[in-house]
Structure 1
Amino acid sequence: MFQQPGYMENVSLRLSEVLADIGVDERIVQKRRRTWLLAESMQTISLQQQDFNCSAYFLGSQSEGTTTHGLDSDIDILICPNNLNVIQDWADWEPGVCNYLMIQDETVSSGYCLLQLLRDDAPLPYNDVPVQHHFRDRTGRILLKNTLMTAAVAAADVWERGVMHGPAYAEQGKPGFIDYDSVSAFQCKSWPLQARQWLDQQGVGQWPSDDMKRYCSSTGCFVVGVGSKENEELELRISTSLAERCLMFNLNITQIRCYILMKMILKTFIKPHFGDSISSFMCKTVLFHCIANTHSNVWRENNLLVCLSLCLFVLYNSILNENCPHFIIPENNLMKGYFSHESKPYLLEILQNIINSEGRALLEIECDDLGARLQLKFSNLLFEFDIKKSKIISGQLLDFTAQTIDMTIQKRLALFTNSSYKEAIQTLLKYIFKLVSISNQCQGLDKTASRLLTPWFCTTLGSVLASLNIQQYNGISAEAFTWISMGLNTDVASSKLKLASMFYCLGDTQRTEIVLRDIEGSYDLNIVEPVCKCHDFIHQASRRGFCAIAEHHNEEAIQYTIAFCVKFLPCEINCVPHELRYEMFRSTEEDLAFRGRNDEWMDWAVIDSLPYLYFLQYKTYSNMQRNEEKQRALSNLAKTIDQEPDLGHRETALNLLGQCMEQEGRARDALHYYLLSLNLRERNNDATSHICRMLSILVNDH
């Protein structure tokens, strides 16, 4: 193989081109990292808003930027309470807080530790009767069971919806959605004792550099509630995830492509027959060892196939010896107990065949059409594929950022769904001041996250104040207008629609019409994507215009490319037209039993922006007796409901359309739309009451 340099170089260059075509290039890798690190910042800030002293970390291939659409990598969400002090040295004990001592002696498996509970009034062991989730061992030490972390993550399902899966709270196997595991962990600020030797080692590749190692040591480590196979209940795994993230962020594009190819090989040749016996983390570890032990000039685009063969050869030897040493804690054998002796010869045979194929085995990889694309590269037949995927990936990433914002805001609003005006105003002010404080104290993506979230609470506060004003004196105060104006540019439509809704409920048709005209002028149907995270549904492919903008912009493009759904809390009811208020009373006592854990929005009035725009236009032009424009708005409403694929609240839009038909004197059409609505959502749908009313009207008329 190595006697054919021209062949190897040619295949390497074509392979590099194919990987760039499917989105594995420097720019898309950086976009992926920025997207997920921003989501991480938003999640942490959201927890801090609730006075939870926790931090969230999004780990794995998504946040590293080492994935593709076809690999469909999951995400590990690590939730870390900051009010615990995990120490390795008694000098780090702190008074008045919960202290744990990491025990890493000969009785503990490599890469794992025990946590001994200490007193909070003196640097001494805790010796009283064991508290819940603790255990007194034979020597009298009070040790933490890792069941505490399992209970903690179940109580703090901060990402979305899921079920317990081992030590994690997981949502897996949903078509169209990223699999995730939420894991609770404790953070130790000091570098683990078992990894001290790594800081002084240096291979021929002079990688990692001394600067990288210094940074890694400053990240400390996590203690995760996963025990070794020898002691699953008491031992906890030592995780150097943040140090590993630093290493991944310092790979060049050839090294990243090599890792992605290894994962594609796992998915194609090994996983279908042997499951997770060889993990992507093992491949990452092998890559680290190879980089550390080869000269840096080896890792070039025109040498990709040689680099891949080197990694596969090291992986082969690891399986042969049943030993894959953790890169930072080498005494921890990652392969221990991972595959059976029966499967070992088959795994070795698969890898041997791939290595000996000199790249031809890659033609069999269907993931991201890699094999077909590579074949076409050599045939110079490129028209078969939409070669450049960077626009599609960029669109998906921008859409994900928008969904993260929507979900974060929804979770915070859900905490005071049924609050009084006073409580809601106090809570919103607290959220806003907390975000401003965080923004003033931080830089980078934390500051960006605060800037993205703050306007939403300003808009909601303005709407709550306006609702209270309308109730008190049928007017809107300057204070309410000031607050809502601070959030008008969150996106293309939703916040401005709240302003239009306020004017409409006040009876100010002229200003309502001006705001609606401005929204319609900004809402480019070829670009703007509707976003709703009230519930899960599969989104269609994003518009080409949206993806084209997303390719050259980051989260700042949300304000002119995204239309969130419009959410009204019960304390905003006086800013809601009476036709939409029915949505706040959608559920009977029987319906409540059919709600999920994240269905708080069902007590709100929620509607997608575009149908609400056309509904408000219909009502406004009706009041202004501008019949032609009224009929155009009605036609646009019906057309949007029928043709827009990504509406999150289509049943609500149908209910509004039905009420418009009632006002048009078209009772049978109204009943038709209510029935369509009920077919979409059989429970927790106020279409039921509308249908009863229409049947009564039709029977009496008959």
Structure 2
Amino acid sequence: MFQEADYRENLSLALSEVLDDIGVNERMVMRRRRQLMLEETMINITYRLTDKNMTEYCLGSQSEGTTTRGLHSDLDILLCHHDYNIIQDWSEWEHGKLNYLMIQDENTTPGYCFLQLLQPDIPLPVTVIPNEHHINDRSGRILLKNTLYNGAIPGAVDHGPSNAEQGQDGFCDTDIVPAFHCKSWPQSASDWLDRQGIGRWPTQDMRRYAASTGCFVVATGSKVSEYPELEWRISTSLAERCLMSNLNITQIRCYVLLKMILKSFLNPHAEINISSFMCKTVLLHCIENTESSIWKENNLFTCLTYCLLELHTCVQNDCCSHFIIQENNLMAGQFTAEKKNELSKKICDVLQNDSQMLLRIEIDDLGYRLQVKLNIVPHGIYYYHYSIDIHELYMTEEYLGRAYSTSYHHHDILHHLHNKNIRTMKQFVGKLISFRVNSNRLEQIALKFLAPILFTTYGSALASSRVAENNQVSPEVLVWLSAGLNSDISSSRLKLASVFYSTGDMEQAELILRHIEQQYYSYPVVPVCTCVKKPPAVTAELMRICGEQSEDCIKHITAFCVKFIQEEINCIPYELQYEMFRSTQDDMIHRHWFKDCWMDWAVVDSLPFLYFLQYKIYRHLQRHQDKQQALNKLIRTIVTDENLKHRETALNILGQCMEQENRPQQALNCYLLSLQQRARNNAANFHVCKLLSRIFAGQ
């Protein structure tokens, strides 16, 4: 018996060390959580600035820090629309709002509800069906159908209540779930607030916080419902996020192991039998019903076995009660008798061969790593190398993720500001500053990344309006442009140089460009662009820098693509202005309303734009040798840089340089290569016609 206890303890400690090696430790869990909370904050700042009456919540494994690289967990987004006021009591009705009353009766599945439409001017039910999204039930109630948001996110795949964005290499899949918020705690979960388990967990503080979060209703019905289009699932996601954030590291590791076992042995071919949410629910029940003292590193294997036994019981009984709304059976209608027997047998196999099963897990090389820890196989060079580098890799992904988020939300705001006049843009920046003054700590950190690039855009647009009036740059313009210089290593400085170029101050522009080029080669710079989702190559040197420095190093290792909206047109060389008019009416049919909105702007990668501006400036200054060097660098960058996101634009401006060099055949080759990159919505179509016209006219 003692030998068995020693074996389980040794295995537990080895498992804990392996999970530590692959990033399931306190430090990395907290970093993952902070990263997702910053992402959530940045999203919601953008919504508030652009007057969208909604809030996004980042949920699931990514936000909990309960995942690894090998698990490939989705990012779960709850998109909450605030135009709807969901109430459980008539006292919560609000004048002028779209009020819906949550109804739970003998016709609704436990954990689900109907939503009855109420009048906006008096607290009474509506009696006439207003549109196709509502239906009149047998009792005469006007109920909202849960098909309201079907297909609401273009390009996404419907997965029950969620819309999943898939198929982008290097980026995790995203499940976007539309929902409505109810300010009050669900009545069906009122008993949970007073429930007390053996381990006195959750604590009273957790329960009080959970109650303050209210609940959501999500657009999906139960699989066993008689009214699948009318039911809305009651979700306590924020309360669950609070519970997960209060787990200790052994409990988190136990959950990660459950998911690895689930993916390796219970759902081996990506079929969804038992969900990770069921595993999470089982874990929470086990924590509640045990003493907190058992959840320690040297007892991890025993805790895992306990959770697997509980999961087996749930499958055999066809019942896995939701942790908070206990009457909601998560397994109701999920399995046929044949599938239940198959799953029960698989779980028994895991339990009977538990330690051997762990050695077979390929996710994150967990089985191999465990064999090394237990001296089953000799220590390998590969093993140690990978263990050291993985933490640097996590840091690198975190920092690059922050940069991509900044670029994405800048993109979203530019879409909002497109075709707005300078006065409207000034009001927008004023709102941003006011928001920054009154922000909390997390919002201040998010704005530290988001604000500079927006200040640059406003400064450039203001400069464009001044150039149109008197071809001068005012001190106010320079203040705004200076405030944004540290957004990244190059894009904001390139805009400043472009402003000076447009006003004829070639010396000042050339000085800025020289400084950018020096900085560019001091670090391994990563191009960041959200117009074209293509992950960058991560080098060992980049990982080393990210592992050694703080998140502020983002400003030195990333180069955003340079985006000019129509309001900045007077501050860019005319060769780039063609990019703003790339689309014919026929081309417009082949564009996505949001993802391709950048096609109405002039967008170019930083490095090609740097060399192009140098070429233009040296040509103006008649420094022919420097001009030729800049042109050669532009050519070399286009040919050799695999990370370019707007190669077609770089080829277009190179083609125009070739035209100015009186090399029409090379110019035509550039445009044809550009069209190979993007056949439609490409200014190269205009350049080809223009060039051929000149050639024929010359002949």
TM-score normalised according to structure 1 size? 0.93
What's 1:381 paired with?
379
Q: Pick closer, same or farther for the CA change 1:131–1:583 going to 2, 3 Å.
A: closer
Match of 2:677 in 1: 680
Closer/same/farther in 2, CA of residues 550 and 573 from structure 1, 3 Å limit: same
1:355 is aligned to 2:356: no
Cα offsets for 1:299-320 (capped at 9, x unmatched):
2222222211111111111111
Would you say the 8 A contact 2:523–2:556 is kept in 1?
A: no
1:585 is matched with 581
Aligned 8 A contact 1:526 1:544 in 2:
no
Q: 690-699 or 342-351, which moves further after superposition? A: 690-699
1:461 corresponds to: 458
Superimposed CA distance per residue, residues 565-588 of structure 1 (whole angstroms, 9 cap, x where no aligned partner): 001112211111122122122223
Gaps in structure 1 of 5+ consecutive residues? none
Contact 1:144 1:234 in 2 (8 A): yes
* CA distance in 1: counterparts of 2:325 and 2:590, whole angstroms: 49
Give the superposition deviation at 1:484.
1.8
- Structure 1 range deviating more: 540-549 or 574-583: 540-549
**Could you say what secondary structure the match of 2:176 adopts?**
strand
CA contact (8 A) 1:428 1:457 kept: no
Paired residues for 1:526-675 under 5 Å: 526-537=523-534, 539-551=535-547, 555-597=551-593, 598-675=595-672
The change in CA–CA distance for 1:381 and 1:568 in structure 2 (over 3 A counts) is same
Instruction: Tell me the residue number matched to 1:88.
Output: 88
Q: Distance in 2 between matches of 1:528 and 1:2?
A: 56
Q: C-alpha offsets along residues 151-204 of structure 1, whole Å, 9 cap, x if unaligned?
A: 6x81xx4xx952444433321244333222222211111111111111111111
Q: What is the identity, as a one-letter code, of the residue corresponding to 1:403?
A: Y
Rounded Cα–Cα distance in structure 1 between residues aligned with 2:463 and 2:578: 20
2:421 aligned with 1:427 = no
CA contact (8 A) 1:527 1:544 kept: no
* Distance (Å, rounded) in 2 between the aligned partners of 1:97 and 1:688: 50
Distance 1:293 1:167, change over 3 A: closer
- Secondary structure at 1:387's aligned position in 2? helix
Is contact 1:438-1:450 (8 Å) kept? no
Matched, 1:213 2:207: yes
Aligned pair 1:98/2:75, yes or no? no
**How far apart, in 2, do the equivalents of 1:424 and 1:179 lie?**
37
1:496 Cα offset (Å): 0.8
CA contact (8 A) 1:466 1:502 kept: yes
- Is structure 2 residue 166 aligned with structure 1 residue 169? no
C-alpha displacement at 1:15, in angstroms? 1.9
Mapped partners of 2:523, 2:454: distance in 1 = 29
Query: How many angstroms apart in 1 are the aligned matches of 2:270 and 2:572?
Result: 57
Partner residue in 2 for 1:250: 246
- Aligned-pair distance for 1:555? 4.7
Deviation at 1:531, TM superposition (A): 0.3
CA change 1:520–1:211 in 2 (3 A) is same
Shift of 1:218: 0.9
Alignment partner, residue 5 of structure 1: 5
- More moved, 59-68 vs 75-84: 75-84
CA shift digits 1:397-447 (9 cap, x unpaired):
221221122121212212343x2xxx3313322322222333333313223
Q: SS at the partner of 2:354?
A: coil
Asked if 2 retains the 8 angstrom alpha-carbon contact of 1:205 and 1:294, the reply is yes
Aligned partners of 2:639 and 2:523: how far apart in 1? 17
Deviation at 1:701, TM superposition (A): 7.9
- CA deviation vs aligned residue, 1:328-383 (integer Å, no higher than 9, x gap): 11111111111221122221222112122232112222222222222233334141
Q: Residue 415 of structure 2 aligns with which residue?
A: 414
SS of the residue 1:512 aligns to: helix
Quick one: structure 1 residues 524 and 16, their matched pair in 2 at CA, closer, same or farther if it must change by over 3 Å?
A: farther
Q: After the TM superposition, which residues 95-174 of structure 1 pair with which residues of structure 2 at under 5 Å, given as runs?
A: 95-148=95-148, 150=149, 154=152, 157=153, 161-174=155-168
Q: Equivalent residue for 2:304?
A: 308
**Residue 381 of structure 2: SS of its match in structure 1?**
coil
Change (3 A) 1:596 1:544: same
Count of aligned positions: 691
SS in 2 for 1:222: strand
Contact 1:320 1:348 in 2 (8 A): yes
The more displaced of 209-218 and 617-626 is: 617-626
Is contact 2:168-2:533 (8 Å) kept?
Answer: no
Q: Note the alpha carbon deviations across 1:601-629, whole angstroms, 9 max, x for none.
A: 11211101111112212222233333443
Residue of structure 1 equivalent to 2:216:
222
- Residue 336 (structure 2) aligns with: 340
Q: Does residue 203 of structure 1 match 2:197?
A: yes
Aligned residue number for residue 185 of structure 1: 179
Q: Quick one: which amino acid aligns to residue 686 of structure 1?
A: A
How far apart are residue 551 of structure 1 and its match? 3.4
1:696 CA drift (Å) = 5.9
Say whether residues 1:508 and 2:505 are aligned partners. Answer: yes
Structure 1 residue 657, shift from structure 2 partner: 2.3
Whole-Å Cα distance in 2 between the matches of residues 297 and 643 of structure 1? 58
Question: 2-side partners of 1:2 and 1:175: how far apart?
Answer: 50
Q: Quick one: structure 1 residues 433 and 164, their matched pair in 2 at CA, closer, same or farther if it must change by over 3 Å?
A: farther
Closer, same or farther: CA 617–97 of 1 in aligned 2, 3 Å = same
Q: Secondary structure at the match of 2:337?
A: coil
Give the alignment's TM-score, normalised by structure 2: 0.94
| Corresponding letter in the other structure for 1:87 | I
Query: Which one-letter code corresponds to 1:624 in the other structure?
Result: L
Q: Distance in 2 between matches of 1:645 and 1:107?
A: 59
Stretch moving more, 615-624 or 234-243: 615-624
Structure 1 CA distance for aligned equivalents of residues 122 and 586 of structure 2? 55
Letter in 2 for 1:534: C
Which whole-Å CA distance do the structure 2 matches of 1:666 and 1:600 have between them? 33
Name the counterpart of 2:487: 490
Moved more, 353-362 or 280-289: 353-362
Q: What is the match of residue 404 of structure 1? A: 405
Deviations along 1:90-114, whole A, 9 cap, x unmatched?
Answer: 2323333232222223332111112
Q: Tell me how far apart the structure 2 counterparts of residues 638 and 19 of structure 1 sit (CA, whole Å).
A: 47
Partner of 1:439: 436
Matches within 5 A, 1:57-72: 57-72=57-72
Q: Quick check: 2:18–2:369 contact (8 Å CA) kept in 1?
A: yes
Post-superposition shift, 1:119? Answer: 2.8
Aligned to 1:323: 319
Cα offset for 1:643? 2.7
- Deviation (angstroms), 1:697: 6.3
Letter in 1 for 2:164: A
Distance 2:691 2:637 in 1: 24
Distance (Å, rounded) in 1 between the aligned partners of 2:303 and 2:398: 30
Q: Is the 8 A contact 2:282 2:320 kept in 1?
A: yes
Rounded to whole Å, the distance in 1 between the matches of 2:352 and 2:382 is: 29
Q: What is the alpha-carbon distance in structure 2 between the residues aligned to residue 549 and residue 637 of structure 1?
A: 27
Distance (whole Å) between structure 2 residues aligned to residue 134 and residue 318 of structure 1: 37
Trace 1:38-57 onto structure 2 (pairs within 5 A). Answer: 38-57=38-57
Q: Indicate the SS of the match to 2:102.
A: strand
AA partner of residue 391 (structure 1): E
110-119 vs 162-171, which moves further = 162-171
- Compute the displacement of 1:543 (Å): 3.2
Identical counterparts, % of pairs: 52
Q: Judging changes above 3 Å, is the alpha-carbon distance between structure 1 residues 40 and 145 closer, same or farther for their aligned structure 2 residues?
A: same
Alignment partner of 2:24: what SS? coil
Give the Cα–Cα distance (whole angstroms) in 1 for the partners of residues 642 and 256 of structure 2.
Answer: 33
RMSD, matched Cα: 2.3
- Letter of the aligned partner of 1:681 in structure 2? R
Mean alpha-carbon deviation: is it higher for 103-112 or for 569-578? 103-112
Q: For the structure 1 residues 131 and 701, does the alpha-carbon distance in structure 2 shift closer, same or farther, using more than 3 Å as the test?
A: closer
Taking a change above 3 Å as real, the CA distance of residues 129 and 338 of structure 1, as seen in their structure-2 partners, is: closer
1:273, 1:408 → 2: CA distance? Answer: 36
